[in-house]
């Protein structure tokens, strides 16, 4: 699939090899838009999510392991004020594969097994935690390459979390943090083997 250019048609999930499953559906149930709505004992429609969760809970209670969402592809949704600015950042600075706009106006990016969706909001949403982390094979090389692209890495000096030359060693990981154009905290991490 080619990377859509500006003015390209909206991303067509029907033609994608694997479809994200956590976009809201027209019936409002969201997570499982393709399942038929079921009727409860009182004749009212119930969410397929409710039915599946209840069945999985019964299986778990009987001692059988249920995978629930274990085989589902995940979508991380990040709030952005300026969608075009954020799209440029994620596609050109970070190098993510831009899938184009979704049917509901979010910009979608392939995350090598999952998706990133940029959701435009009128006001910035500020979180004080890491919103998304990328595993890299060499944290120092990634820091150097991203710094060349204009990324500014954060310095932290908190009890139990201190960066040295932009890197913090946390148990079996090296990690470094930076912000996107919208203030979301992102991270790169390397597993120490």
Residue 132, C-beta contacts closer than 8 angstroms, at least 6 positions apart: 76, 78, 116, 184, 186, 187
Domains, the chain, ranges and CATH?
Answer: 22-72 (no CATH), 73-120 (3.10.180.10), 130-191 (3.10.180.10)
pLDDT in tens, the chain (193 residues): 344 444 444 544 444 443 333 333 333 323 222 333 333 444 443 333 444 445 555 555 565 566 788 888 999 999 999 999 999 999 999 999 999 999 898 999 999 989 999 999 998 887 889 999 999 999 999 999 999 999 999 999 999 899 999 999 999 999 999 999 999 999 999 999 8
Secondary structure element (H or E) that encloses residue 108, with its range: strand 107-110
Please name which of 177, 176, 171 lies closest in space to residue 193, comparing C-alpha atoms: 171
Angle in degrees, CA 73, 75, 81, rounded to 5 = 170
Task: Look at the pTM and tell me if it is higher than 0.85.
Answer: no
Query: Distance of alpha carbon 70 from its chain centroid, rounded?
Result: 16
Q: Is the dihedral of CA 170, 183, 91, 118 positive or negative?
A: positive
């Amino acid at each position: 699939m080619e990377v859509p250019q500006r003015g390209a048609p909206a991303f067509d999930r029907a033609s994608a090899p694997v479809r994200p499953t956590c976009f809201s559906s027209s019936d409002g149930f969201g997570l499982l838009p393709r399942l038929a709505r079921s009727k409860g004992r009182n004749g009212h429609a119930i969410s397929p999510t409710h039915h599946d969760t209840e069945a999985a809970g019964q299986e778990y209670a009987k001692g059988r392991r249920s995978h629930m969402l274990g085989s589902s592809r995940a979508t991380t949704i990040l709030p952005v004020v300026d969608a075009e600015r954020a799209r440029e950042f994620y596609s050109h600075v970070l190098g993510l594969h831009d899938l184009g706009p979704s049917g509901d106006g979010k910009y979608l990016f392939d995350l090598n097994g999952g998706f990133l969706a940029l959701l435009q909001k009128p006001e910035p949403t500020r979180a004080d935690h890491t919103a998304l982390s990328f595993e890299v094979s060499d944290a120092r090389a990634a820091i150097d390459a991203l710094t060349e692209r204009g990324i500014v890495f954060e310095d932290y000096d908190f009890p139990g979390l201190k960066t040295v030359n932009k890197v913090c060693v946390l148990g079996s990981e090296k990690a470094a943090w930076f912000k996107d154009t919208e203030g979301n905290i992102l991270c790169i991490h390397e597993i120490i083997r």
